[in-house]
């Protein structure tokens, strides 16, 4: 079964937001060089790129 990449990104963004707010995570007082916010930003960039490609593909199909 092939899962849609945009769906995976959405689920992962949700999970990261839940991790970020989780009391056990907050208790860690963990401050790495790369943060959950960095991961969320990376996923947003990937999502934007995928959506742009889908829009370009749809426009290309409409003009053909």
Q: What tokens were used for 63?
A: 């003009």
pLDDT of residue 33: 93
Closest by alpha carbon to 37, among 18, 12, 20?
A: 20
Identify the burial level of 27 via C-beta atoms within 10 angstroms of its C-beta, where 0-12 means exposed, 13-18 middle and 19 or more buried.
Answer: exposed
pLDDT of residue 31: 87
Question: Cα–Cα distance between 30 and 15 in angstroms, integer?
Answer: 18
Per-residue pLDDT of the chain (64 residues; tens, 9 = 90+): 899 999 999 999 999 999 999 999 999 988 889 999 999 999 999 999 999 998 888 887 887 6
- Domain positions in the chain are 5-63
Closest by alpha carbon to 5, among 45, 46, 36?
A: 46
DSSP structure class, residue 33? S
């Amino acid at each position: 079964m092939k899962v849609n990449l945009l769906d995976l990104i959405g689920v992962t963004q949700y999970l990261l937001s839940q991790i970020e707010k989780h009391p056990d995570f907050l208790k860690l007082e963990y401050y790495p060089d790369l943060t959950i916010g960095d991961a969320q930003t990376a996923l947003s960039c990937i999502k934007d790129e995928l959506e742009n490609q889908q829009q370009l593909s749809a426009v290309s199909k409409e003009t053909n």
